[in-house]
Amino acid sequence: MVYLYLKISKKFDIIYMLVLNRRKKMIREDIEKFNKPDENNEKEKTSTTNKGNEYIKKLKEIYIKRGFKNKWLHLEEIACGISKEDEHNLLKEYPEIPKSLLEILNKIDGTYHRLYENEKITYYFFGSDVEDGKYPYYLLSGEQMLKTKNDPVKYYDCYINREFDDIPVSEKITNDINNIKWLHFADCMNNGGTSQLFIDFSPSKKGSKGQIIRFVHDEDSLEVIADSFDEFLEKIEKNDFKFINNDEGF
């Protein structure tokens, strides 16, 4: 009887050890799985943080493909990134400025009558919804963005206040003129007289913080053309950079 008891007890001990070891292995695997980086998240993170650099790379390819290789190479030769002081001031004024825009500025600090090495240059850099994306815009420098920070209140107050019934203003744009926070980042080929682009950090309840506002003159309108700066860049890419047109040149 004692022998039988010891045999059964030993058998249960073995089973217990097997279960315990299996449990330890499962816990170890769970810990490893938890600590393992999510490859999809890593890809998404990389994609988001490199969006500005990717845009410049694709824009370069389009310049070359459409016959403006030397013009782009000249830009690469003379251009420089935003100064530390201007970057600091931009971040201070616009703490939520998109990382992709800062990436662009750190490579090319503006293409709108921008002075590089004693040479003033103008390069098309963006499109919008105007003329199905064919109408071009220049990238403002960090300094120009800061200098024009009060322009929305100065020049667009009547639109923001909805003073004209016949001028379309997106309901995603606030009507609170006292709390406007727009970053003016691009002017059209007509020196900004026909169209300008802004990043909106003060949307209405129906809008999204960081949405892109496009103003166009004659017929006047203020419309939201993208929910974010990254989406704005993606739309330009999907539209095949139509504003770089080898029939029209620069």
Taken as a whole, the chain contains a residue count of 250
Q: Per-residue pLDDT for 23 more than 70?
A: no
Q: What is the pLDDT of residues 43-102, one digit of tens each?
A: 444 445 689 999 999 999 999 999 999 999 999 999 999 999 999 999 999 999 999 999
Q: Per-residue pLDDT for 18 more than 80?
A: no
pLDDT-based confidence at residue 6 (cuts at 50, 70, 90) = very low
**Number of C-beta neighbours around residue 95 at 10 A:** 8
Least confident of 3-12, 72-81, 168-177, 230-239: 3-12
**pLDDT of res. 186:** 97
**Number of C-beta neighbours around residue 7 at 10 A:** 10
Strand order in the sheet with 137-139: 124-126, 137-139, 182-188, 195-200, 211-216, 221-226
> Which superfamily does CATH assign the domain made up of 51-238 to?
SMI1/KNR4-like (3.40.1580.10)
Q: Identity (one letter) of the amino acid at 113?
A: H
Rounded distance between C-alpha atoms, residue 249 and residue 196, angstroms:
21
Rounded distance between C-alpha atoms, residue 167 and residue 162, angstroms:
8
Secondary structure letter of residue 176 according to DSSP: -
**pLDDT of res. 21:** 58
**pLDDT of res. 245:** 87
pTM summary value? 0.80
Q: What is the pLDDT of residues 56-70, one digit of tens each?
A: 999 999 999 999 999
pLDDT-based confidence at residue 107 (cuts at 50, 70, 90) = very high
Q: What is the pLDDT of residues 161-193, one digit of tens each?
A: 999 999 999 999 999 999 999 999 999 999 878
206-227 per-residue burial string, b: 16 or more CB within 10 A, e: under 16: ebeebbbbbbbeeeeebbbbbb
Q: What percent of the chain has pLDDT over 70?
A: 78
Residues 225 and 214: beta-carbon distance below 8 Å: yes
Q: Which residues is 198 bridged to in the sheet?
A: 184, 213
pLDDT-based confidence at residue 8 (cuts at 50, 70, 90) = low
